[in-house]
Each structure stands twice: as C-alpha cells, then as structure tokens.
Structure 1
Amino acid sequence: MCGIFGIVKAEKTPVAEQVLAGLKVLEYRGYDSWGVAVAVGEKIQVSKQIGKIGAAKVTDLPDSTVGLGHTRWATHGGVTQANAHPHLDCTGTVVVVHNGIITNYQSLKIELQTAGHQFKSETDSEVMAHLIEVELATGVLLPIAVRQAFLKLEGQNALVVFQADGQQLVAVRQGSPLVIGLGRDQQWLASDPAALVGQAERIIYLEDGELAVLSPQQVTISSVETGKKRPLRSEALNWTPQALDKGKFAHFMLKEIQEQPAILEQVAAVGGLALAPVAEAIRQADQVFLLGCGSAGFAAAIGAHWLRTLAQIPVQAVVASEFDTVMPLVTAKTVILALSQSGETMDVLVPVTAAKAKGARLVAITNVIGSSLARLADLTVPLLAGPEQAVATTKAFTSKLAHLALLAELMSGQLETGQIAVRTASQEMAAMLTPENLAQAEIFAQSLKTAEHLYVIGRGTSGLLSAEVALKFKETAYLHAESLAAGELKHGTLALIEPGIPCLVLASETEVTASLSAAAEITARGGRVIWLGPTPEATTKIPGEVPFNFQPAGLLSGLPQLIAMQLTAYYLALIKKIDPDKPRNLAKSVTVG
C-alpha cells in the first residue's frame, strides 16, 4: 500500500525535493497523507501533510545528505497530520517510515508507554521508532538496533530508518516490498522500481528477512535472523522516464487506455514464447487453479472459462483471498497460475507461498519481472504492459486476457488462431479510440451522470467480463454498479429494476441470443437497455440504445466493448470532478492482507 522513498549521498543537496519527486511517482500506493524527513545537524526536521501531494513543495526543508519520505494509505489511525509518516522517537533523532501492519503493536505500545515513552500518533508504525530508541540506549549501532527491534514485530512489514547524526539508511523487509537503487556516491530506496527510473541504472530487490545498510559509497545486505551478509546481486533497470510520464494526456488512465492496442500487438507477436512451458506444466498437473484479486481475479475467471471450453482442461478460478478454502486440495501435482499486475499483492503472495510449501508449481503472470511473485515463481509470464500508474487497471487487465486467450488456444493446438484473435481485438480496440468514439464516450457518460445504480449483464465470456466493467464504474466514477450472468437476473436482482435504471447488456456475436430474454425482462420493467456488442439484430427484437458501433472480434470480442466502457467511466469521473487516477480509499499495490 504505502510508498517509501529514501536517498543517502555524500554531498549536501536539496534531497527533500528529490524525495518528494520520488513520492509523486509512488503516490498510486496511497494518498491519504505524505511526509518527508531530512537530517539537520543532530536533529531531524519533518514536513508532513494530509491529502494528495499535488503541487506541494518542501523548499522549507534544508539541504542534507539523507532524506526519507512516505505516502500513506491509512490502516491504523485516521487520516490526520499526526498519523502521517515519518515518525520520530522521543529524542527526535531517529525517524521511521513503514509499509505494512504490525499485528502485535498494541502489546508493544503498552510496554513502551509503561516505560515512559510518549506517542504522538495512533499508528502501529510509531512503535518501531521507540523500539529502536530503546535498543540504541544500550549502546549498539543503528543497524543492530533496527535488527533487534524488528525481530520483536509480528506481521508483514517493510521499514526504513535513519539517525540524525549518521549518514546511512537502514532498511528491513518481511512481506512488503523494497528495492535498492545503486549509484555513485549516492544510493536510493523505494517501494517500487518505478520511482528509481531516471536515477539508478541498476537495482537490487531486498528479499524477505533481509536488512540493508545504505551509505553513499556502499550497500550491505544481511539476514535479519542470523546477521550473515550475502553477496549483492543487481540487475538493470530498463524502464524509461517517458513510460512514467503522462505525456500529452491529462491523466494516466487515459494514456493507459490508449496504449492497449499496441500492447496487444506485442503480446500476439511474442506472448506465445513464455506460455509454452506453462502449457507443458499444465499438461503434467493433476489440477490447476487460477487466482487473483479484483480485476486480476476477474481475468482469472475468464481464463479458466477459456481453458475449460477451448482446451477441455478442468481448471478452477479462485479469489486469492479465499484460496485457503481449497488449500486442502493442493498437492505436489498442483499448478497455480497467479495473476497480479504489481506482483506484490499480499492476498496473492500469502496463499501461493503456502501452496509452494506443499510442493505446488507456481506460474506468475505479472507486469513486474523483479516482483516478489515473480521471484517466488517457477515460471513467469511478463505482461509486457509497461508501468501502470492509474489505480484502476486498464492495460494490465487486457494484457492478462490476451495472454490467457493465447494459452487456451495453445493448449487446444490452435496458437495461430489465438494470435489472430489478439491482433483482431487490437485492431478493433484501436478503432474505438478515434476522435468520434472518444466524443461518443463522453456523450454516453453525460447520460449516466445522474444515475445512482447501473447493472451489467451478459452470458459466457461477456457475463464474466461484466464484473470488470462494473468495477470500472465503481472505482473510477463512484457509481454503484452490479454485474451478473444474464440468466440470473430473474432469480432475485430483477426486483431492483425500476423505470429508467441503466442496464448494460454485453453480448458478442455468439452470445446475443442468450441475453435476449434478460433484455426483455428489463424492458418490461421500464429499465433502460443499452446494447454493447456487434449485435444490431438484437435491437430489432428488443429495442434499446446502441451508443457504439462494434465489429465482431472473435474470442476477444469483449475487449472493444471494455475499452468503450473504460473511456465512459473515465469521462464520467471527470464530469463528477473525480480524479480518475487516484480514487478515494484505494491504492494500486495492496501489500497488506
């Protein structure tokens, strides 16, 4: 969730401004509050505020050789300035930023308060500052104090610390991600490599149970448990600054929507190479699970549907946070395909780690090759989508579907058919991005601006895709949207259909007949039927609105419909004066369980 960024360097510079720039890149991880700390002589100066960073400045903070910042997604304690990070100890000489949840913080806090420590926030994070203070009082150096304090914590946590009179950053990780950027006479720390683009050329991913000490000239990494140092293994950071810039677009969401056709072309060209060993692993398995959270979970459901119907493989999709309900079935002959844009989603990492402990093989389908999920996996399929900054996923979701379509066709002996389907979808998605269709999406969004509810129905693939369409309206435009299989409408939800309520009917050329009766049921109750699909004949049987003109696109017919609804949700957010990149209460990389 939260974003961490730190710098340590040999010469004094405006590090606070550099830290703030890094936090802006990481703000998708949380934007309830933010803060920056720098060393000033024998004390630490902190500036922190609630809300998004926006055009904020930290020019009031002096030059320094070390700086540390944090952007928060609130878990323990409300959204207040006192609860914003960084947090100080009682002496004001130790500062901590934290990502994760310290599950035993209450008992630790009581012990510290009994010993006389004064707390200024409601957070679990502040506990660590005082624990380190206690250890430092025994005369040990900061890395040892951090190690000994961290061993008292329970939960999944990443922490970065510095001391006012020292010229080093100390970082420790268990569960929540941290990556080190290597430089000459300066080093960086961040929650995500994206924040290091344009600065560090090589990076090191900190592993679970490791402690890193960064000074301007060197980095050391050791085991938290034993203190034993390990060799440094760095890798190139190949992303470009342009990939993290909005360019000509007003928002990242609009930019990422427009990038989807080109991404699908790339997947069609090279995606099959990474999928060949995955197909072989599935053939050797006794059982196969697909899992993910949110949009990734919806992609998993669609992928399982394709593997069952096209390749006749009995695959089960499971919501990652509920995977414990099927964990008793996992054996050494199980293959798990885990979908995660960031590769850091805790609700995914926890069950797949447990499954691997039982001998299961893990396939990571992720957008970040160096992520925790990718490093844990036996096989990795890169999404090839590039950095995704908007909290609401667009291009990573469609890339997942493209890869899963290729996998299903590959396993049915029809890889070329799958490649053609992905290319066709790419072309039809590009056709939806003409100025005329962008204008039409804005007009359609205007027609929804007073709606309080939206229903999205479909059959087969369209029925499963309806969940992602509904989610886009919920998370981007704060419109209550409910998805369901068209045949289920009459089994309860029809009671909610009133005159004028908009109902989207998703239907490919092969699915429209199955949705006609549901559309008729909506029309009979005065609902507003909106057809989405290459189905002009449907409107002659059940009248309804046809806001977009779609062409048949085969297996991936739903993707042109999806991009039209992504655009509509985006414009509806603008109409409602909502920031589509940073919806309230959400964060992109959910690293807490």
Structure 2
Amino acid sequence: MCGIIGCTGRGEATLETLVDGLRKLDYRGYDSAGVALSGATGVDVVKKAGKLDALVEALSGERERLDGTVGIGHTRWSTHGAPTDANAHPHTDADGRVAVVHNGIIENYQSLRDELADAGYSFVSETDTEVVPHLVARALDGGAEPEAAVREAVSQLEGSYALGVVVAGVDAVFAARRDSPLVLGLGDGANYVASDVPAFREHTDHVVYLEDGEFARVEADSWVVTDADGDPVDHEVHVVEWDPEDTGKSGYEHFMLKEIHEQPRALRQGLQGRVDEMRGEVTLEEFPSLSPSRVHLLACGTSYHAAVYGAHVLHSRGVPAQAFYAHEYASATPPTDDALVVGVSQSGETADTLSAVRAARRRGAETVALTNTVESTMARECDHRLYIRSGPEIGVAATKTFASQLVALNLLALDVAPGGDDREAIAALRDLPGDVQTVLDSSRAAEVAREYADADAYFFIGRGPHYPVALEGALKLKEISYEHAEGFAAGELKHGPLALVTERTPVFATVTGEDQSARKTIGNVKEVEARDAPVVAVTDGRTEVERYADHVLEIPETHPHVAPLLANVQFQLVSYYVANDLGRPIDKPRHLAKSVTVE
C-alpha cells in the first residue's frame, strides 16, 4: 500500500517533516517517492523512482528552492503505470497550481482522462491519479474557489481513494477518502494528514480517523471535517497509546527479528484481563455474549491462515466454522443468514476483506472485526470488534500479529463455545508468553537455516491445527527469502506432492502430543525419509519422531490448540535466518505491501 503524509504549520521544517514521515511509512512497500511544497505563487514538486534515498539525493540540490510551508508527500506502489519518475506522485496540473497524492484506484479515470484531453488538458504520466489535479484545475479555471474546486473534483471520482491536495496560495491541505484509510494528526500549532499514524506520531498522539465520503481542510491551527454535502461532521479525537519508540528497531538488525522477539509481550497484552484461570472463564469486556450456530471467517494472506486455524478451534468446540478467502467470498457470497461473520485483518483496511464483510452485512449477517488497529475501517463498520493488541508492526511479513490473531481466535472460541472445564486451555494460554520466550532463547533455527539456505525448495507439513501453521511457515519463507516453499496437510503429501521430494528439499514436520494424529504424521515423515529428503522435526518430545529427523527444533509441551503457536515461532526464525543468509531485504520484500487496500 502507498503512503501519504501532509503537514501544515511546520514552517522551515516542512520538507524535513515530509521526508521523515515518508521514512516512517516506507515499511508499507513502494517503488517511487515524492514531495510537493505549496507557496504563494506555485507548487514545487520533486519525485523519483526507486527508494526514498533516491528522493533524498534529488532533494539535496533543491532545498533552497523549496520554501513552501504547506506540503504533501507520497510513497507509491505501482498500479497504473510502471515505477518511473513521471508516474511517481505527487501529480500536478499543467500550470503547477495544484498537487495531488493518492492511494487507491480511480475506476473511471479513463473516461475522465478522455474528457479532459478533449478539453485541452495534457497528461504526462500513465497513472489514474493525474486526472485529479486536472479536474481541480478545470474547476479553478471555471472560477471556483480552491476548496470548492477540490470538492468538485472529488465528486467526479469513482473507485477507492485517499487524497491529499495542496493548492498554490492556500495554507491548507485538503483531504478526502473512500475505501482507503486516512487519518488526521492534531498537534500544537501544526496539523497533519497521513495514511497511517506512524507518519506523524513523533509530533502528536491526538488523531481523528476520517470516514468514507468525508472531506477535511487542515490548516496550521485549525481543522474541519465535512460530509460530501459540505455539512460539518463531529469527530471524536483519539489518543494513540503506543510510544514512537515502539516503531524503532531497538538494536535489532531488522524489524522482523525485533517483532519476532516482541511476541511474548504482544501475547501478554492480548491476554491481559481476558482470562480467569481459577474460574476457567474467558471475559471479553468489550465483546457481547454471542452463541452463533456457525461461523464464517474471512481473510487473505497470513490472516487467512489464522482464519483456517480459528475454524479448526471453533469446530473442535462444537461450532461449525469455515474459513474463506475474502476475495472469493465477496464475489460469490455463501448464505450468511444465521452465520456470525468474522473479518480477520491485522490492519482492518484490507480491501478484499472489507468488501467481503460488507457483502455479508448486506445479507443480514452479524459481523465481527478481529484486527490490530483501533478505529480502522473494518472496526468501525462491523457490529462488534475484538482487538488483538499486538502493538505496531513495521515489517511487511506479519509475525507478532499472526501469533496475536491465533490467541484472539482461541479467546473467541472459548467465549462463544465454553466447555465443561476450560481450565487446561486457559492455563496453556496463560503460559504461552513464557513458552514463546523459551523457544526464542533456545532455538536452533539459525543452525538449521545455514544448512539448508541453498535448498531447491522447502516443504512444511502438519495435521489439524498444525496445518494452517504449515501454510504460514511456507508463506513466511517465500515472502522474505524469495525461495520456493509450500505448506501441506500432512496426509496430502502422498497424494501428489511427494513427487517433488528430493534430497535437496527439506521437509519441516510438526509433531506434538502422542495421539493418532501424531502417529500418522510420523508415518508421513517416514515416507519423506525413505526418499532421502532432509527432515526437520518441530516437536515437544512426546513421540519418537526424533529418530527419523535430521534436525529437531524443540517446543515446550502444552495444550494441542496452543502448540501450533510455538511451532510457528520456530518457522518464523527459520525463515528469517534463511533470508538473512541469502542477503534479502527482509523488512521490505519486493512487490509486497504491508496493507493491501486495493482489490
């Protein structure tokens, strides 16, 4: 997802504030960056393809020229047009009066572009965004005041957008959103607009989250939000609880490694005040008492793996549950009349998941947002919300948010389907942060990674609740190492994938407990061993799987539903160290964005 930052009231520090804000957002994935500063007579723009360092270098010879005190900045993830200087944001009109940054996709841009071209407006990029400054310019040419001109332009757009607009001679940033997040930061003598709070968090902790269809005018000492008709909208001002230092690396080489090691704290935050071991109860104070006859979990990517896990846990407690890819559910929605629909999204802004949840709501379903982001779009739109409380996550590849999602789904299952005595499960959750710390302190993942960093491919297998963690282990490895990896239900290995197994394809198998599922997985391990493939066993030591493994990654013994969370930590570490050994850009893998806000 692209990043937006805008500010007013920073005076000579405006340019520095914009660049620093973009740096705080560069974890989101991007391929070009740019800034625009608005002065009394015009708008100055500097933008470059590539990473932020290329923009900073380009700015080094321009600083004396860039003296505007109102500005916007952008990191672009290409959708329309290749990552070139011309296609980078901000975009301007031909006369340099208007500059625009945009997240999202303008679906009717081609018809607008044709209309504007016929009227004599010329285009220099391939982007959908460039129609916006020309629409504003056309309104200005027709005699409209700047704010009215921006409103008129926005009213003609179809699709998704978060917009930041500056107009020469106006000491304000105009902002509008639809289906793409935008937040205001309210400071002392300076105010901000951004796609995410980290862009301005070091300057203020007071924020206002814009709703779909809203328009904002932000000046140095004032701000106002209105609806599409121009009527003022009252907004609650929220206080961001996390500290700016939470988004630093704290001495770790990468954000991903830091966030893997933050999991014990994140899990404690997710459990705090929610479990009572003595009474064997889960108490979700912010959550109503629900007794669904069935549950649909909607998600994408890593969150989908969490949803598959959640469906297994719910089903094991007697609640029929099914996980769906959100992008499939939205286009062909199954019946939801009596289903509780849970949208699982760490950002709460995932476009596919939002569309699916909205489709479910239109069909009358009761909805829950399971997310990390307070006041995200999904949290605001759903009937109920369950926050995972993992704190900010900067690395593109989700780690602590996935673990926190699994904990939250356990709590949801215990809450909506309490059993006769849940003390064992609750005790395991209580001990989980300490057990994760034990894995972090004793893991041999770095050694395993070094041995297999040059493998041809990697396979992950697991049964029951370990299956979605096998999927996640493979996804994590391919995301950050760019190596081929696949996850399978262990029983599926012999139904085709076994043909791919060689002495250069290590197989990571999770075997915990000593029940029939564990014994069957050992049988799958023997099949792999017979074909000379290296085996890495993740185990609690309760079976003899070590006899058939080349390496063992140990986890503490725990409840069957909690063991996958510990196995997941080992897989995260293996993925990290393989990618590190290969010299990959771990925190910002190519082509990927932290939050996918376009469908």
Match of 1:153 in 2: 157
Q: Do the aligned residues in 2 keep the contact of 1:135 with 1:149 (CA within 8 Å)?
A: yes
Could you state the TM-score of these two structures normalised by the residue count of structure 2?
0.93
Q: Do the aligned residues in 2 keep the contact of 1:406 with 1:418 (CA within 8 Å)?
A: no
Match of 1:261 in 2: 264
Q: Aligned letter for 1:404?
A: L
Q: Aligned letter for 1:184?
A: D
Query: Cα distance, 1:500 vs. partner?
Result: 2.7
Distance of 1:553 and 1:130 partners within structure 2? 61
Match of 1:433 in 2: 440
* Residue 270, structure 1, aligned to residue 277, structure 2: no
Change (3 A) 1:334 1:539: closer
Q: Per-residue CA shift, 1:109-145, capped at 9, x if unaligned?
A: 1222222222111111111111111111111112211
Residue in structure 2 matching 1:303, options 310, 333, 358: 310
Distance of 1:513 and 1:568 partners within structure 2? 25
Could you state the TM-score of these two structures normalised by the residue count of structure 1?
0.94
Mean Cα deviation higher: 555-564 or 407-416: 407-416
Distance of 1:567 and 1:524 partners within structure 2? 27
Distance of 1:132 and 1:587 partners within structure 2? 30
Q: Do the aligned residues in 2 keep the contact of 1:512 with 1:538 (CA within 8 Å)?
A: no
Q: Aligned letter for 1:398?
A: A
Q: Aligned letter for 2:369?
A: A
Q: Per-residue CA shift, 1:58-93, capped at 9, x if unaligned?
A: 453333310100011111111111111111111111
Residue in structure 1 matching 2:122, options 118, 123, 126: 118
Mean Cα deviation higher: 413-422 or 425-434: 413-422
Distance of 2:365 and 2:388 partners within structure 1? 22
* Residue 4, structure 1, aligned to residue 11, structure 2: no
Mean Cα deviation higher: 406-415 or 515-524: 406-415
* Residue 587, structure 1, aligned to residue 593, structure 2: yes
Match of 1:287 in 2: 294
Distance of 2:446 and 2:170 partners within structure 1? 55
Query: Cα distance, 1:326 vs. partner?
Result: 5.7
Q: Aligned letter for 1:96?
A: V
Q: Do the aligned residues in 2 keep the contact of 1:180 with 1:187 (CA within 8 Å)?
A: yes
| 1:541-552 matched pairs, under 5 angstroms | 543-552=548-557
Distance of 2:551 and 2:564 partners within structure 1? 15
SS at match of 2:289: helix
Change (3 A) 1:232 1:302: closer
Distance of 1:407 and 1:185 partners within structure 2? 43
Query: Cα distance, 1:105 vs. partner?
Result: 1.1
Distance of 2:546 and 2:222 partners within structure 1? 72
Query: Cα distance, 1:211 vs. partner?
Result: 0.7
Residue in structure 2 matching 1:229, options 228, 232, 237: 232
Distance of 2:285 and 2:17 partners within structure 1? 43
Change (3 A) 1:48 1:547: farther
Q: Aligned letter for 1:170?
A: F
Query: Cα distance, 1:260 vs. partner?
Result: 0.5
Distance of 1:179 and 1:189 partners within structure 2? 6
Change (3 A) 1:16 1:277: closer
Distance of 2:283 and 2:225 partners within structure 1? 32
Match of 1:24 in 2: 23
Q: Per-residue CA shift, 1:414-457, capped at 9, x if unaligned?
A: 454333112333222101222x53xx322211122211211111
| 1:171-210 matched pairs, under 5 angstroms | 171-210=175-214
- Unaligned runs of at least 5 residues, structure 2: 276-281
The RMSD of aligned alpha carbons is 1.9
Match of 1:412 in 2: 418
Identity %: 39
SS at match of 1:270: coil
SS at match of 2:577: helix
Q: Do the aligned residues in 1 keep the contact of 2:513 with 2:543 (CA within 8 Å)?
A: no
Distance of 2:188 and 2:432 partners within structure 1? 46
Query: Cα distance, 1:540 vs. partner?
Result: 5.8
| 1:76-115 matched pairs, under 5 angstroms | 76-115=80-119
SS at match of 2:597: coil
Match of 2:396 in 1: 391
Q: Aligned letter for 1:586?
A: L
Q: Do the aligned residues in 2 keep the contact of 1:37 with 1:67 (CA within 8 Å)?
A: yes
SS at match of 2:328: helix
- Unaligned runs of at least 5 residues, structure 1: none
Distance of 1:449 and 1:161 partners within structure 2? 47
Mean Cα deviation higher: 466-475 or 100-109: 100-109
Q: Aligned letter for 1:14?
A: A
Query: Cα distance, 1:567 vs. partner?
Result: 1.4
Q: Per-residue CA shift, 1:9-52, capped at 9, x if unaligned?
A: 1x631211101111111112222111111124412211212222
Distance of 1:142 and 1:452 partners within structure 2? 59
Query: Cα distance, 1:575 vs. partner?
Result: 1.4
| 1:122-521 matched pairs, under 5 angstroms | 122-224=126-228, 226-272=229-275, 275=284, 278=287, 280-281=289-290, 283=291, 285-309=292-316, 311-324=317-330, 327-331=333-337, 333-410=338-415, 411-413=417-419, 414-434=421-441, 437=443, 440-510=444-514, 511-521=517-527
SS at match of 2:397: coil
Distance of 1:201 and 1:519 partners within structure 2? 52
Query: Cα distance, 1:499 vs. partner?
Result: 2.7
Q: Per-residue CA shift, 1:375-399, capped at 9, x if unaligned?
A: 1122211111100000000001101
How many residue pairs match? The answer is 583
Q: Per-residue CA shift, 1:218-263, capped at 9, x if unaligned?
A: 1111112x22222232122222111111111111111110010122
Residue in structure 1 matching 2:574, options 544, 549, 568: 568
Distance of 1:276 and 1:298 partners within structure 2? 26
Distance of 1:38 and 1:528 partners within structure 2? 57
Q: Do the aligned residues in 2 keep the contact of 1:83 with 1:121 (CA within 8 Å)?
A: yes
Change (3 A) 1:195 1:540: closer
Distance of 1:537 and 1:231 partners within structure 2? 61
Distance of 1:291 and 1:274 partners within structure 2? 24
